[in-house]
Amino acid sequence: MIRHIVSWKLAAEDADLRAEQAADVARRLNALDGVVPQLRAISAGVNVAYPDTNWDVTLVADFDSIAALEEYQVHPAHEEVVAYVRSVVAARAAVDIEI
């Protein structure tokens, strides 16, 4: 099984706007559950502590294989979320681990 972990730092400098956008990113990602068949599990959430140093949003998603992860990457519903995320993000960090 592959666990895909991604964190984003949002571009907005205004704390209220950044919080609103972070919640929207998490909501859109979590809405992929049941829509993208390759997803075995998904959890996205907004940072709740140390906003000056922590990243704003994190995703943890599980897949049966790298091939399933790659299919998820090009799924139209995922690509729609990616378009929004890219419009509000300043930086992205990701790691894929075998579990």
Q: Tell me the C-alpha distance between 16 and 24, whole Å.
A: 12
- pLDDT tens digits for range 10-25: 999 999 999 999 999 9
Residues 6+ apart with CB under 8 A from 26: 44, 45, 46, 57
Cα separations in angstroms, 91 against 9, 10, 59, 76, 94: 5, 7, 14, 23, 10
Helix (H) or strand (E) holding 30: helix 15-30
Q: Tell me the C-alpha distance between 27 and 19, whole Å.
A: 12
pLDDT at 52 over 90: no
pLDDT at 3 over 90: yes
Percent of the chain exceeding pLDDT 70 equals 100
pTM over 0.85: yes
> Strand pairing of 41-46 and 57-63?
antiparallel
